[in-house]
Structure 1
Amino acid sequence: MNSIHIVDTHCHAWDDTCRYVTGTAYTPRQAVPLDALLAQWDKHGVASGVLVQPSFLGTDNAYLLNALSLNQKRLRGVMVVDPLRDLARIDSLHQAGVRGFRFNLISSGAALPNFTQPPWRAWIRAAQGCGWHIVMAGSSRQLAETLPQTADTNLPVVIDHWGLPDPLSGTACTHWRRCLDLARRYPIWFKLSAPYRLNGLRPDALLPEIIAAVGLQRVLWGSDWPCTRHEDQRDFTALLRLPDLPGHDAVPLLQHCAANAATLYRI
């Protein structure tokens, strides 16, 4: 495993100084600081990665930004933004290593902001100038309903956790197939992360469909460590396992994912 270059594009860290959002649907039992994450990376040969702002911290990205400042060569970041507050500092955020902003539709509902209205219109223009992307976590139904709203932003979109198809329908899920169809027409990426969030669906059934839609050039791997809401899944070795992809065995899928991460995150 150590001979493979590995980039973890979905992980979280926070400490006891962080304040949780009031009324959040999920509150972690304990903090998991950056040192704990980096220890996992070092143990398992992960070269670098992307800190994703956890939803329970809202738009207070202070811990994430401090982590980036201390680890500029190894870390990039994805924020949850307040466009009114953050627009004026987007250049400095980019210099710090931020490369995108996210929406967790599962936590916040299926509504996206109206990107055609201020202040989001100004924010999208600035994000375009920085070469950033949008990260979206949601069920396939939520994603199918909201992805068309991102088309006019001309920003790449990264879909978390395999796109979360309906577990009863699997690869036949109408909403998930709609996401795949959209990915054929727009710069949409799929993140191969957190298979335990698939409610029993087998990743090896989903992977060929995703590759058929976006190729090997728009897939990423993420550990989702420390596995919020699923703390019993914190076996990092298990998180590194990806399904075999018939016909592409010469180069491990993790290696393709790392090369793609280098393109998207400049890491």
Structure 2
Amino acid sequence: MTTLSRRQFLTTTATALVGTQMSPSATLPASGGLIDAHVHVWTPDTKRYPRAGFLKKAPSPASFTPEQLFTHCHPVGVRRIVLVQPSLYRFDNSYMLDSIAAHPGVFSGVASIDDSAPHIRSRMQDLARQGVRGFRLSPRTPDVAAWLDTPGIQEMWKTAADEGLRICLLISPEALGPVDKMCLRYPQTPVVVDHLARVGMAGPITRAHLDRLLHLSVHQQLVLKTSAFYTLGKRTPPYLDLSPMIKECHQYFGPQRLMWASDSPFQVAPGHTYEASLALIRDHLPFLTASDKAAMLGKTAEKVFFGKAT
């Protein structure tokens, strides 16, 4: 069964998936409201959705379906979500696409494609027709500049600019310099940087790393995710130690270029909760106005991921 035909089947018949019912939403969510800009989903149905061969162990948790996600996000008012292709499926975006099709209006998608394969533009266009608004990239080599200079990556940045799609970067602070140069080379390409560029993940939040991140604010097409609090800084709820970094990002980028995301299911691992991630932005940062919170908790993500691709 092809991906397209499977998506059509899900949309019209609400196919059951291994102990959970993936059924179409009854109504489209209203415009506005809270949006989680970064979640991964997967299913234990490895026969229908095989996992990448390079995996050495099963993912944890063993299952995180849309229905399981809803038990965390619905009680706190999050009704729309950006699904990001997890590495365990590598370039097979089928489960994410099927989840988008089964819940009309609820999900947007960030896909992964093989940048070394041919027909990059047409593949990106095809995925955009299926609800994808971004494409995830993460360096394959320590030489980030050389990786960004490969023909496939260059074509992805060109296509994203032409089609109104986002290049979504999972990077560490060491990659910020090469990314800055790439943004100068392709100033029309919309870019999203995940998880505060992981500043404070491998060690303390340093002035040098933060300054590199803040410098990216000069690129008006670049948006930053304030996300993955469970793995940054002291890694302890309510994550108040991240407040100074988020405050500076707010000052440089402005709330219209910041978006909150949980990075679930990792955010709901023992010791952390979905509510705690949301609460940092909603309740604990006094420098944020009500309009700032509205932007970071929904309006920015709505503009970036829920509009039509050009």
| TM-score, normalising length: structure 1 | 0.84
- Rg: which structure is higher? 2
Deviation by residue 1:68-107 (Cα, 9 ceiling, x = unmatched): 11123111000111242653243332121101111234x8
1:66 maps to 98
How do 1:84-99 and structure 2 match up within 5 A?
84=118, 87-99=121-133
2:87 maps to 55
2:279 maps to 241
Identity of aligned residues (%): 25
1:213 maps to 252
Partner-residue secondary structure (3-state), 2:266: coil
Change (3 A) 1:9 1:251: same
1:134 maps to 167
Change (3 A) 1:97 1:234: farther
**Preserved contact between residue 196 and residue 224 of structure 2 (Cα < 8 Å):** yes
Deviation by residue 1:108-165 (Cα, 9 ceiling, x = unmatched): 6563675565444443333222211111122222334444234323312212112222
Change (3 A) 1:187 1:171: farther
**Preserved contact between residue 133 and residue 166 of structure 2 (Cα < 8 Å):** yes
Aligned-residue RMSD, C-alpha: 2.8
Inter-partner Cα distance in structure 2 for 1:110 and 1:50: 29
Unaligned runs of 5+ in 2: 1-31, 236-240
How do 1:151-190 and structure 2 match up within 5 A?
151-153=184-186, 154-166=188-200, 168-172=203-207, 174-190=208-224
Q: How many residues of Structure 1 are paired with residues of Structure 2 in the alignment?
A: 261
Partner-residue secondary structure (3-state), 2:290: coil
Change (3 A) 1:140 1:7: same
Partner-residue secondary structure (3-state), 1:262: helix
Q: Which range moved further: 51-60 or 153-162?
A: 153-162
Deviation by residue 1:6-62 (Cα, 9 ceiling, x = unmatched): 100000101122333333477413121122113322222112010001122211111
Partner-residue secondary structure (3-state), 1:204: helix
| TM-score, normalising length: structure 2 | 0.74
Inter-partner Cα distance in structure 1 for 2:33 and 2:262: 14
Q: Once the 2 structures are TM-superposed, how far is the Cα of residue 219 of structure 1 from its aligned partner?
A: 0.4
Give 1:232's aligned amino acid. P
Inter-partner Cα distance in structure 2 for 1:232 and 1:186: 37
Partner-residue secondary structure (3-state), 1:192: strand
**Preserved contact between residue 256 and residue 295 of structure 2 (Cα < 8 Å):** no
**Preserved contact between residue 160 and residue 190 of structure 2 (Cα < 8 Å):** no
Give 1:103's aligned amino acid. L
1:195 maps to 229
1:10 maps to 38
Give 1:264's aligned amino acid. V
Q: Once the 2 structures are TM-superposed, how far is the Cα of residue 223 of structure 1 from its aligned partner?
A: 1.1
Deviation by residue 1:155-209 (Cα, 9 ceiling, x = unmatched): 122121122224655251x133112112224422211111121141722111111
Partner-residue secondary structure (3-state), 1:220: strand
**Preserved contact between residue 145 and residue 178 of structure 2 (Cα < 8 Å):** no
Unaligned runs of 5+ in 1: none
Give 1:223's aligned amino acid. S
Change (3 A) 1:25 1:131: farther
2:78 maps to 46
Q: Which range moved further: 37-46 or 217-226?
A: 37-46
Change (3 A) 1:144 1:161: same
Give 2:266's aligned amino acid. C
**Preserved contact between residue 114 and residue 120 of structure 1 (Cα < 8 Å):** yes
Inter-partner Cα distance in structure 2 for 1:255 and 1:119: 33
Partner-residue secondary structure (3-state), 1:242: helix
Inter-partner Cα distance in structure 2 for 1:204 and 1:21: 37
Change (3 A) 1:23 1:95: closer
